[in-house]
Amino acid sequence: MRHVLASMTLLCLFWALGAMAHAAGAGEQDFSKGESLLKSKQYAEARASLEAGIQKDPSNVQAHVNLAEACRSIEVWACAEEHYETALRLDAKSWATGSTQPRLRKATVWRSLEEVTAWRLLNDAKGFMSGGKVSPEKLRQMEEALDSANELGLNNDQLALYQQLQMKLPRQRAVAVPTNLPSGGVSVGMASIETQDMPMVLVPAGEFTMGSIMGDDEKPVRRVYLNTFYMDKFEVTVGQYARYLEVTDMEEPPDWNMMNQPQHQRRPVVNVSWEDAVNYCKWAGKRLPTEAEWEKAARGTDGGIYPWGNEAPTRLHANYGRKEWDNHQALTPVGSFEEGKSPYGIYDMAGNAWEWVFDWYDHDFYKKGPKKNPIGPAKGEGKVVRGGSWLYVPEFLRSAHRFDAQPTNRLFGYGFRCAKTP
């Protein structure tokens, strides 16, 4: 009898091990096939295979990422959003239980999730405009979708669609200024808001003179119309960037330990790439300004050469022309030059740190770009930086001066400020 029981126990054990092996391998063939199809850009087929595998094994983190990528490539935004979110949730659960499985690159997945969510919201807003007359309820839903998409931060293509949809609204949208501002959030004599301890200044809608005759890539001089936007009053500081790093898993910029000292907290953060700047602005609920927005915020509507007017720069206007970096001491605390403010009361738009803007650089863009809410080309080799820096000569302090920089550069002179669409 004991032999019979032992044999039955062994048989049950073999069955259990077989079932476990089958469960462990469930979906693997589909996942492998789906990944191969994804690499060969057969996105619809990859989606079908990965969905089949996930039905058998819904806990495979990488399969959810791959499925999200397939759906993103065929512009099925809700599907991509769902599976990026699932991958992040499963990854967090895996980490909490002490799993030894490779971790996701959370920052990359997070950025992809925000991008597809913005696309879904924009397409939702576009859908509300279809079918003839738009009801008040659909109009409200469209505005909410546009606001939510804008808060996530928009890429070049998304921003173009966003502006097209804004123009289709039956009335000019009012500028919403929060009523629960912290003390000091509203400045006397100008409209401003505060976000992440950064005051923002309202730049009203209207035309301004963009370009100059002083640089080949600044011609022709033309009148350009921009919608209303907010611009940071100051460049983003080391102290603000330190708080951002504390609550995210983003990589510290080079020489961060040297920068992040008590005496530098009010100086501009530098050594940041274009993507670093984009990510910070998204985290703060804002975005990088377009090149046109930056220039209008710097020079106002009347075509002044510098933010303060046409007077040649002096040491009272801006921080420029220094010879030594001196471990971040070459930069001055933001807001140090009262006489250098722009017509809107914005500081340090000449000197101190070059500022990343959203646009790809195109030498001839002014000759062919639109005269209403222009945005640079959809792709390029370099991004635009504006304003000159602590190191450069007065020529680079002109508000119309354009400079072409590699977006991956993390150099001593490269910083940024953010903008926001009301």
Task: Give the domain CATH number at 385.
Answer: 3.90.1580.10
Beta bridge partners of 194: 199
Average per-residue pLDDT in the chain? 84
Pick from 75, 104, 133: which residue ends a domain? 104
The reported pLDDT for the residue numbered 34 is: 86
Pairing of strands 192-195, 206-210: unpaired
Sort strands 414-415 and 354-360 into parallel, antiparallel or unpaired. Answer: parallel
User: What pLDDT score does 163 carry?
Assistant: 77
- The parent domain of residue 155 ranges over 113-168
Instruction: Give the span between the Cα atoms of 291 and 374, in whole angstroms.
Output: 8
Q: Which of 234, 241, 249, 247 is nearest to 192 (CA)?
A: 234
Residue 83 lies in a domain: yes
Q: Using the predicted structure, report yes or no on whether residue 181 has a pLDDT greater than 70.
A: no
Instruction: Give yes or no for residue 289 having a pLDDT over 90.
Output: yes
For position 95, what pLDDT does the model report? Answer: 59
pLDDT digit string, tens, across residues 226-261:
999 999 999 999 999 999 999 887 899 999 999 999
* Residue 173 in domain: no
Helices (H) and strands (E) in the chain, counts: 13, 10
Please give the helix or strand (H or E) that residue 232 lies within, else none. strand 229-232
Which tokens belong to 343?
């017509």
130 and 33 within one domain: no
- Of 308, 379, 310, the C-alpha closest to 348 is 308
Does residue 146 sit in the same domain as residue 269?
A: no
Handedness of CA 24, 27, 31, 32 (dihedral sign): positive
pLDDT tens string 77-123: 999 999 988 888 887 777 556 655 666 677 778 778 888 988 998 98
Instruction: Report the candidate in 369, 364, 375 with the shortest Cα–Cα distance to residue 289.
Output: 375
Asked if residue 280 has pLDDT above 80, the reply is: yes
Higher pLDDT, 187 or 331: 331
Quick check: 18 pLDDT over 50? no
Q: Is the pLDDT of residue 191 over 70?
A: no
Side-chain-side CA neighbours of residue 149 (13 Å): 29
Please tell me the total number of residues recorded for the chain in this structure: 422
Q: Which of 178-182, 233-237, 333-337 has the lowest mean pLDDT?
A: 178-182
Return the closest-CA partner of residue 225 out of 210, 208, 201: 208
DSSP 377: -
Q: Is the pLDDT of residue 160 over 60?
A: yes
